[in-house]
């Protein structure tokens, strides 16, 4: 050690920084070189795995959303195809549920075709001023 308590390594680092140069890697200990190499490998693995993880997660999320959408379509189709009787008069709530299910099926752009509305739905939707398509 130097008289002022500063190690040779510290002096070398300070001198290279004062001259505007970078620290000389040949002055690193073997353990530090191995640690630096291991850190670089880990960083490269994380950087490479990140896009892969993102794609896999996005695809699984899209598949989940697709299955939920198809389930909603099936539910709207089931409710939207319920025939309403011409008499006795059904409640506005019942007509609204059937008409809104048909509207939901169209809004979601579900695959397939929705059966045509029953004559009772057309009649009572017009009576209650609802969309009976």
Helix, strand, coil shares of the chain as percentages rounded to 5?
70, 0, 30
- Has residue 20 got a pLDDT over 60? no
User: How confident is the model at residue 21, as a pLDDT?
Assistant: 56
Once rounded to an integer, what is the mean pLDDT over residues 13-22? 57
What does the chain come to in residues? 133
For 64-118, what is each residue's pLDDT tens digit?
Answer: 899 999 999 999 998 888 888 877 888 899 899 999 999 999 999 999 888 888 8
* Residue-range domain boundaries for the chain: 8-127
Cis omega (within 30 of 0) on the bond before 88? yes
Q: pTM of the prediction?
A: 0.57
- Model pLDDT, residue 22: 60
Residue at token pair 């299910």: 101
Q: What is the pLDDT of residue 41?
A: 93
Supply the pLDDT for residue 9.
65
């Amino acid at each position: 050690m130097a008289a002022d308590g500063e190690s040779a390594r510290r002096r070398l680092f300070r001198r290279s920084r004062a001259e505007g140069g970078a620290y000389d890697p040949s002055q690193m200990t073997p353990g530090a070189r191995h640690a630096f190499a291991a850190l670089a490998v880990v960083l490269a693995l994380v950087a490479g795995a990140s896009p892969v993880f993102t794609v896999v997660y996005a695809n699984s999320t899209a598949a989940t959303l697709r299955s939920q959408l198809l389930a909603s379509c099936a539910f709207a189709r089931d409710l939207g195809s319920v025939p309403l009787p011409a008499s006795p008069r059904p409640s506005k709530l019942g007509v609204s549920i059937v008409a809104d299910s048909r509207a939901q099926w169209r809004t979601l752009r579900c695959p397939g075709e929705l059966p045509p509305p029953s004559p009772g739905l057309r009649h009572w939707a017009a009576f209650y001023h609802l969309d009976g398509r």
